[in-house]
Amino acid sequence: MNTFLSFEQFLEANSIVPTETLVNARLLQREQFTPLPALLVRMGALSEEVLYQQMALHSGMPLITEEDLHHAQIAFPTTVSQWGLLSHWCQAQGLILWQQEDSHITHCVAKEVISANVHEVLRLKSPPETQIHYSLVRPSAFEAFYAALERREPRAVATGDVMHLRELAEEGPIIELVNTVLSQAVTRRASDIHVEPGEYEFAIRLRVDGVMQELSRMPLDKFDATVCRIKILSQLDIAERRLPQDGRMTARVNSEVFDVRVSVLPGAMGESVVMRLLRQDRKPYHLEDLGMMPDHAALFKRWIQMPNGIVLVTGPTGSGKTTTLYTALDIGNDGLNKIITVEDPVEYRLKDITQIQVNADIGFTFAAALRSILRHDPDVVLIGEIRDQETAAIAVQSALTGHLVFSTLHTNSAAGAVTRLVDMGIEAFLLGSSLKGVMAQRLVRCLCEHCSQPTEVSQETHRVLLEGVKHWSDELVSKPQLRRPVGCRNCNQTGFSGRVAIYELFEVDATLQHQILTGASEADIVRYLRLSNVRSLRDDGILKVWQGITTVDEVLSLAGA
């Protein structure tokens, strides 16, 4: 054992690798940030077998053979479960551990030494009076071990683990943990709960008003049981850990009932879980509640009353598009029209409206659903999202045959919706005839009404604000009421509470129809909209800053400077 020498010095002192080769390897190491042993094998200075024989001599640790690893595969899953560790974590740390007959635990490491942090985790998790022995294993054998483990039947590997986890998931502490997380998420007005595994612990984070906040960090030994509890409530397969899963459950929290959409995604450190909270008793919104100015609300209501055509709402994921369209359906649902929606998934249940959820796994896509519902005699159709050319074509045909179609599109601007549909393959003359209105939107955080304070702004910021409001009528532009965030108990010290949308709306008039027919670019359309005094997202946000609803930084971060 020569631990007083580094491995590099050991190789040089024993003339195992020429000094010149080591110098070249050091230079490459600085450029490529690759461990020296791996570089020496790649350069052909040593074979992997010889390299690890020398590493074993240097470290004093025995070198484990492939035959030993073959026996380890049987005991590995049970041992990992008993220790409260994850197979993913062991693989990431270069570890293979299993229970020996003499009650010792052997850890095979693909590195010369392991970090002190990993050793401490293993020491804390090891059963009483357990001796920890470390050995070396060649990387090729290490990778072959985990590859063979992956090929084995998942249920056969994890049977004992699953039974143990189910028992833990039904115990009081885990039930209380999951219930407490749900309760705190509702109290903080969170839209999503994220359960994320780490190397030594797992984090529980909340998305509040679009921003992630850490709720707590928990010991890793509770992670598997917590995920198992969530899976049981969501009716998911607790034995399946290698494929994504989606489920849902109903939760009653603080006398409120929530639909909870659950998504489980396998990752390098273990399964990551996201739970989206949706109130069942959603009250109908008014356009003003969403943040629409009077002129925008009047225009949008006119679109809702149209007999046919397409109305598009654009924006990134999480910008409130679905809420806006649900509000449109609430307004247009006067009992005189047949309304059908096609969604993925159905987020809220709407009274007297037929809602259909697509299922791509069985071929029931947006396009397939649309072909069927058009024979169902609808007056108004809501398509959750236009994702492909086939769905877009059916939407256009529906609009041309007397239906009013609402849908969403993922674009960065309202004008981009036109060019996006043309790029999808929709004929310009059909699009110009069917498209009636386009809206873009983003969500900005509202200042907390309990703690925000009046403020003065710099001369440059004041100039930007004046530029943003000077074109608009007195009905929209009142006396400036600029405010700044402070932070209090009501807003969890963030200074913000709730969100409101900023909008850009334009109607497809004769000039725009001509531009669509002649293949105008997005820049040409934007130029025409500004000349026509169509308010941009940025200007709509500045109006809300002027009214003391939000801040300049919030608007510029989402709508650009």
Q: How much is the average pLDDT of 377-400?
A: 90
Which residues face 270 on adjacent strands? 267
Q: Quick one: pLDDT band at residue 113, thresholds 50, 70, 90?
A: low
DSSP state of 315: -
Residue of 110 and 207 predicted with greater confidence? 207
Write phi, then psi, for 53 (nearest 5 degrees): -65, -40
Confidence (pLDDT) at 97: 79
Residue matched to tokens 């397409």 = 310
Q: What's at 414, amino acid-wise?
A: A
pLDDT band at 158 (very low <50, low <70, confident <90, very high): very low
94-103, 363-372, 408-417, 527-536: which range is least confident on average? 94-103
Please give the pLDDT value at position 280. Answer: 77
pLDDT, position 270:
85
The token pair at 508 is 């497809």
Write out pLDDT tens, residues 133-151. Answer: 788 888 777 877 777 776 5
- Residue 530's alpha-carbon distances to 415, 416, 550, 559, in angstroms, are 11, 15, 24, 15
Confidence of residue 96 (pLDDT cuts 50, 70, 90): confident
Strand (E) or helix (H) holding 216: strand 211-219
- Pairwise pLDDT comparison (71 vs 424), residue with the higher score: 424
**Band of residue 245 on the pLDDT scale cut at 50, 70, 90:** very high
Q: How confident is the model at residue 112 (pLDDT cuts 50, 70, 90)?
A: low
Task: Judge contact between 230 and 202, C-beta under 8 A.
Answer: no
- Compute the distance between CA of residue 203 and CA of residue 191 in angstroms, rounded to an integer: 17
The pLDDT value given to residue 528: 94
Give the confidence band of 477 by pLDDT, cuts at 50, 70, 90: low
- CA separation (Å) from 129 to 84, 103, 107? 17, 9, 16
**C-alpha angle 484-486-487 in degrees, rounded to nearest 5:** 140
Q: Strand order in 201-208's β-sheet?
A: 211-219, 201-208, 190-197, 270-279, 256-267, 245-253
**pLDDT score at 199:** 73
Q: Per-residue pLDDT for 9 more than 80?
A: no
Distance of CA 232 to the CA centre of its chain: 22
Q: Which two tokens stand for residue 342?
A: 């096609």
Distances (CA, A) of 403 to 376, 392, 420, 453: 12, 14, 22, 49
Dihedral (C-alpha) 387, 389, 394, 398: value to the nearest 10 degrees? 80
133-138-141 Cα angle (round to 5): 100
Residue for token pair 């299993």 = 98
pLDDT at 159 over 50: no
Angle CA(412)–CA(413)–CA(418) in degrees, nearest 5? 110
Q: How far apart are CA 244 and CA 267, in angstroms?
A: 10
Provide DSSP, 60-101.
Answer: TPPBPPHHHHHHHHHHHHHHHHHHT--HHHHHHTTEEEEE-T
Closest CA to 290 of 559, 498, 448: 498
Task: Tell me 131's DSSP state.
Answer: P
The two structure tokens encoding residue 510: 């004769």
What is the three-state SS of 464-533? HHHHHHCCCCCCCCCCCCCEECCCCHHHCCCCEEEEEEEEEEEECCHHHHHHHHCCCCHHHHHHHHHHCC
Angstrom CA distances, 326 to 83, 290, 437, 503, stand at 49, 11, 17, 16
- Residue 439 near residue 503 (C-beta atoms within 8 A): yes
pLDDT digits (tens, 9 = 90+) for 210-243: 899 999 888 888 888 899 999 999 999 888 888 8
* Least confident among 13-27, 174-188, 373-387, 410-424: 13-27
**pLDDT level of residue 32 (50, 70, 90 thresholds):** low
Looking at residue 59, what is its pLDDT? Answer: 77
Q: Indicate the average pLDDT of the chain.
A: 83
| Best CA proximity match to 72, nearest among 118, 5, 122, 133 | 133
Kindly report, residue by residue over 325-361, the tens digit of the pLDDT: 999 998 988 888 899 999 888 878 888 889 998 887 7
Q: What is the pLDDT of residue 490?
A: 86
Q: Each residue of 406-459: pLDDT tens digit?
A: 999 988 889 999 999 999 999 999 999 999 999 999 999 999 999 999 888 777
Beta pairing, strands 496-507 & 354-357: unpaired
d(CA 78, CA 239): 14
User: Tokens 């401490």 sit at which residue?
Assistant: 120
From the number of C-beta atoms within 10 Å of its C-beta (0-12, 13-18, 19+), residue 235 rates as: exposed
Beta bridge partners of 355: 341
Highest mean pLDDT among 32-46, 68-82, 298-312: 298-312
Q: In this predicted structure, what is the pLDDT of residue 73?
A: 66
Select from 282, 292, 404, 388 the least CA-distant residue to 340: 404
Q: How many residues does the chain have?
A: 561
Whose CA is closest to 490, among 196, 216, 251, 188?
Answer: 188
Predicted confidence band at 77 (pLDDT cuts at 50, 70, 90)?
Answer: confident
- Residue 447 is predicted with a pLDDT of 94
Band of pLDDT at residue 86, cut at 50, 70 and 90: confident
Predicted local distance difference test score (pLDDT) of residue 439: 96
SS3 category, 261: strand
pLDDT of residue 90: 81
Q: Considering the chain, what percentage of its residues have pLDDT values greater than 70?
A: 88
